[in-house]
Amino acid sequence: MSSSVPPLVRARSLRPWYVMAALVLAVVLGLQGLVNGCGSTLILREGTMPNLATVAAQAEEAAQAEEAEPIQIQIQILFRLGDAAHLRSLAEHARVTFPLGVGRMLLGGLLCVAGFLALSGRRGSRTFLLQAVAANAVFVALDYALTPAVRASWIGMMAQASSLLPGGLTEQERASMTDPRLLWMAQRFRFVVFGLGPLALIALAITRAPARLWFQAMAAATRDDTEEP
């Protein structure tokens, strides 16, 4: 007598929680890479770069309109300046950053597609996702290796932008908020924790024994369903 529970439903119930989390993370990372890569290439093609003084003035005006606290105003201005300085540093080294932006867009799309396929447990989707994760990890490392000048330019702009922070701060407080040593440490931390870290977690999750068994069960259940008359 055949079981009352369809094989595909039974196979889906075997999926470990961390596999689901890893696959959703893969899709989110892929979408993020796709959007960021597309956005940076479009901005570099247009060639319009923000002026830091204008950005700081607009951010301060917007924060004051919201009646934000002084510390909130300073933080908002600092983040807006960071984004503007990042765009300017990308533009200064467009020969390197433009092709990297295209690569980020393509590999982000690849990771997103691989994550979606793996969510359904399709045959071969685990191998495909591992290949996409590996390709993105290599790209992240290559991106970091090729862009020290971009990071140095960004940190230099941020150090100079300390003068654009609102009044009420001493010279020492302004300098500490854009200390180049802290900014270099933040860049390294970002590379390891937010660049390679999520990809390593995805690879670890889908290579564990329960995850392999789930992918095998899903592939077998899907094959059985297609073979039924």
pLDDT digits (tens, 9 = 90+) for 164-212: 776 666 667 666 777 889 899 999 999 999 999 999 999 999 999 989 8
Rounded to an integer, what distance in angstroms lies between the CA atom of residue 103 and that of residue 136?
Answer: 9
Rounded to an integer, what distance in angstroms lies between the CA atom of residue 19 and that of residue 10?
Answer: 16
Query: Which residues fall within 8 angstroms of residue 182, CB to CB, at 6 or more apart?
Result: none
pLDDT value at position 54?
Answer: 83
Task: Give the model's confidence band at 162: pLDDT under 50 very low, under 70 low, under 90 confident, else very high.
Answer: confident
pLDDT digits (tens, 9 = 90+) for 35-51: 999 999 998 988 778 78
pLDDT value at position 185?
Answer: 94
Question: Pick from 2, 39, 29: which is nearest to 203 by CA?
Answer: 29
pLDDT value at position 47?
Answer: 77
pLDDT digits (tens, 9 = 90+) for 78-119: 888 888 889 899 999 999 999 999 999 999 999 999 999 998
3-state per-residue secondary structure call for 105-122: HHHHHHHHHHHHHHHCCC
- pLDDT at residue 161 is higher than 50: yes
pLDDT value at position 58?
Answer: 79
Contact (CB, 8 A) for 22 and 126: no
Token duo for residue 11: 């196979």
Half-sphere exposure of 138 (CA within 13 A, CB side): 9
pLDDT digits (tens, 9 = 90+) for 2-16: 455 555 556 566 678
Contact (CB, 8 A) for 137 and 152: no
Contact (CB, 8 A) for 162 and 177: yes
Contact (CB, 8 A) for 98 and 38: no
The fraction of the chain above a pLDDT of 70, given in percent, is 82
Rounded to an integer, what distance in angstroms lies between the CA atom of residue 19 and that of residue 219?
Answer: 16
Token duo for residue 110: 């690849």
pLDDT value at position 174?
Answer: 67
pLDDT digits (tens, 9 = 90+) for 52-81: 888 877 777 776 676 666 667 777 778 888
pLDDT value at position 81?
Answer: 86
